[in-house]
């Protein structure tokens, strides 16, 4: 019975060590996943910033275009 206890104890100790190793590997992989997700999230934020910048430029260009059209119309009417 005592030998059985020692064998079981050794088996449990071995399994606990294996579990500890697997947990450490899982923790490392999880940290890598978190880093990847954070990087992806930052890329999405940058993309949103670029989209906002492009929208502002487009709005400015439309305003300039409309202003130039009005100037052209005013000059055409002044010339007649």
Paired tokens of 26: 């899982």
Residue 80 has pLDDT above 70, yes or no: no
pLDDT at 2: 61
| Cα–Cα nearest to 57, from 44, 49, 45, 68 | 49
Dihedral angle sign, alpha carbons of residues 27, 29, 31, 34: negative
Question: Using one digit for the tens of pLDDT, what is the confidence trace for 29-59?
Answer: 999 999 999 999 999 888 889 989 999 999 9
Q: How much is the mean pLDDT over the chain?
A: 90
Average pLDDT for 11-18: 90
Buried b (16+ CB within 10 A) or exposed e, 49-66: eeeeeeeeeeeeeeeeee
């Amino acid at each position: 019975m005592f030998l059985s206890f020692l064998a079981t104890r050794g088996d449990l100790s071995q399994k606990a060590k294996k579990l500890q190793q697997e947990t450490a590997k899982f923790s490392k992989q999880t940290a890598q996943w978190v880093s990847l997700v954070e990087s992806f999230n930052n890329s999405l934020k940058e993309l949103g910033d670029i989209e906002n910048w492009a929208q502002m430029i487009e709005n400015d260009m439309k305003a300039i275009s409309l202003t130039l059209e009005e100037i052209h119309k005013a000059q055409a009417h002044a010339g007649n």
